[in-house]
Structure 1
């Protein structure tokens, strides 16, 4: 069932340091009102590990020059770096009549649809948010909900150095390998990945076609 169209701004932000961007998301969410437009922020980050609210330090297997930032999203530890398409979703869930679980599935669905366009068969897993290709993870996601609004979002590995993932248990899963579009033979830019994902997210947010959501695969 469609909902009334809610304005959505899509902002291309370039390469931004992680912590100031996180603080900006917090401020945007704290200050927004009923008429504030929802936003998608399209960006990349310099190398950084982020550790969620319930994150356990032991999932960082090897210290390095890459900083670790403790943040307020759910989940464990993940890595962000150049060549990764990050999209932050600053969405008023109440206004769009979205439950948190629906929002997570919508984000995963956008990733699944875009990957399918590039000939990649991917799947979601029950209890392990993100998108997987075989036994490898290609995209991570995490949200924080405050005052009925979301921030943080998703990260798709496009063309990046994957070695920092070997220094962590990605999202808390020991031995989980990560992959990227480039490693799977798909040569696209981060900008193209951003554009395709943003367009699909916008379509899903406006149309909310729940019957089109792909099934969950047991882990």
Structure 2
């Protein structure tokens, strides 16, 4: 069976998320607090800390590529070129040209420096939602993504739900490009940017993934099997 996106449900889910928490959203607040507390990185210093955030991100998101390849990616990063980039797309292309830096790492890095630390605020509308394990599980758990007959899917990992190849038209998985377009359309109904869906990360990590807290989730009404 193939998977489908329920855009009406996406919009309803976004309306239920606390995207204005602390004026920025919980994931933005969490990221800022963590990086300032541990590394001393703040919005005021981000232009000089682009390389440090990249080093952290590629290490955290690099999976099992090994320390040597992580180090090579860090050395290939050009902070000056990123500072000179005029558009989000230019910055994204600079990142994915680095060996072992694919869309997942590039989008996560730009989420941090642009959304959390306010580097190039004009790029916020162009940011993509990183399709990591937490966002993917939240989309499946709330049936924003379901099997084409409307039934709940048992697929939970990003690799089984999304095809990340640019421009792909998979038969069974959802093209990552299509998911980003759906995020954008659903966000517009709430007068928001699609990166607002990044709040799914917080909701899954701190509520949906912990059985004792699922009933306290702001998305608990979307979890019933009958929906």
TM-score by length of 2: 0.31
Question: Comparing both structures, which one devotes a greater share of its residues to strand?
Answer: 1
Larger relative helix fraction: 2
The higher-RCO structure (CA 8 Å, 6+ apart) is: 2
